[in-house]
Structure 1
Amino acid sequence: MATYILSGIILLIIVFSVRSFIEKLRFGCCGGTIEKSTKRKKINKKELSEYQISKTIYIEGMTCGNCANHVENALNSLDNVYAKVDLKKNLANVRMKIDMSEEILKGSINKAGYSVKYID
């Protein structure tokens, strides 16, 4: 009897592991379980010139395009901020209309589930 119970538990673990692996293959590291990303904020070229202040944020924890979208959307949700994330370099180029404190920028990224190495 104990053998059947143990076999059933092992079988469930295998099924859930294979399912998780397939989701990662289809959707990236986030597995599609995170809520849908919001659409990117569109900025036309004329508006972009209004964003005079620039900072570079080096970020840890991004592993796929979906991660980069989450960070970019988190930063772009702040007022007077336009951000573009470079996944290969693990950084975000942030342009602002007004200077924002590093704590606000870090807080937005931390809330999205990622951490900041440092800000230039």
Structure 2
Amino acid sequence: MTNLYDAAYDLEKAIRNSNEFSNLKTAYEAVMNDSSARQMFENFRDTQIALQEKQMSGQEITEEEVQRATQIVELVQQHAAISRLMEEEQRLNLVIGEISQIITKPLEELYSTVK
């Protein structure tokens, strides 16, 4: 019988060795090695995390916060290195989403037979 944890660690290793992860890592390092890009990216991430935390705690996000976040996103998207990082992150997230669908297929099939 297959040890699921061993398979999970093999999958982690495969992700680390994938082109998608390698491209993401390269893009991340490019941003981190550029002081202005790094500062913009950190500001973007801090804003994103703060809004997520506020939303998860049930607090209302103000129109002012939405406008500020929109401005930050627009600014970040104009920076080539950060834009590339976001694209590479999105590519890897798509792959991980597809993997998630594959590994949850047994559950989906099991529950789809229940009527």
Q: TM bucket by the smaller chain?
A: under 0.3
Larger radius of gyration: 1
TM-score for both structures, normalised by structure 1: 0.25
Larger % of helix: which?
Answer: 2
Instruction: Pick 1 or 2: higher relative contact order, CA cutoff 8 A, min separation 6.
Output: 2
